[in-house]
A and B are shown apart, each in its own frame.
Chain A
Amino acid sequence: MTKRSNEPLLWLLFSVGGVVAALLIPVHLFLFGIAFPLGWLNAPSYDALLALARGPAGRVYLLVFCILPLFHWAHRFRYTLYDGLQIKHLNELVNTFCYGGAIVGAIVATYLVVRIP
């Protein structure tokens, strides 16, 4: 049997991450990044937000919300660097930077989410 590449796994992460990013980031970004800072809407209190984040569902949600889109980024950015800059010969470096970055991000996210009091 020929060696199967790990491209299917990377593509799967890219796709699922793309769905999560498309479904959830716009509303989060609108609320936390635009509406609350500009005072269009009243931001939730510290306690209310903590209560949302600390439950098991909240934690799992945060993990999904952060980790999958990072792999989405890794995959897309890798190809953009290849094609946009024509640096296919820097293959290894680009891969390490992109997927490595996503893995580091995933570890940081897990660490933080576990530490939510």
Chain B
Amino acid sequence: MDQISINAVGRKELTTYTEYPPKGYRVRISTYWWLGRWAYLKFILRELSSVLVAWFVIETLLQVNALIAGPGAYQDFQGFLRNPVVIALNIISFFFILFHAITWFNLAPKAMAIRLGGKRVPAILIALPNYAAWLLASVIVGWLVLRG
């Protein structure tokens, strides 16, 4: 049942009687939605850090493989690591993984609602030990590796 009516501002308008409300207009989400907002881009970069995590695990496995194959193969692998492309990739990975570590430690308190004496432990008191553990782990690994 279509009819022409005059709307509030005096414009002619086609009004259609619908028994059920129309479904409404849905905006399609662009494939590049994560470029639309800085926070979204940060999120995607944070998630993509996992790819570089995987890359470094592979690199470590290759190193172990070279270690198994003997001193000669190990030297060759050091040469591979000195390739400028590999170094560049590793530097990029380093920043991504730092980003992962910082966001991880900062977000951890959100998932942990620890209560002591009836009060929620403030986020900083959960994040700080994380950073302390990070420092400690780095120092221990550094010491073990550099000692030799």
Which chain A residues have a beta carbon within 8 Å of chain B's beta carbons? 18-19, 21-34, 36-38, 41-53, 62, 65-66, 69-70, 72-73, 75-77, 79-80, 84-86, 105, 108-109, 112-113, 115-117
Given A28-B141, A29-B90, A66-B60, answer yes or no on A49-B97 (Cβ-Cβ < 8 Å). Answer: no
Number of CB contacts from chain A to chain B under 8 A: 154
Q: Chain A interface mostly helix, strand, loop or mixed? A: helix
Q: Are B53 and A72 in contact (CB under 8 A)?
A: yes
Interface bin, chain B? 35 or more
Known contacts A22-B101, A26-B97: A76-B50 contact under CB 8 Å? yes
B-side interface mostly = helix
Q: B67 to chain A: which residues have CB within 8 Å?
A: 46, 49-50, 53, 116
Judge whether B5 is part of the interface by a CB distance below 8 angstroms. no
Query: Given the interface contacts A24-B141, A25-B53, does A116 sit within 8 Å of B93 by beta carbon?
Result: no
B148 touches A51 (CB 8 A): yes
* Contact between B94 and A86, CB atoms less than 8 A apart: no
Q: Does B104 lie within 8 Å of A109, measured CB to CB?
A: no
B145 adjacent to A31 (CB under 8 Å): yes
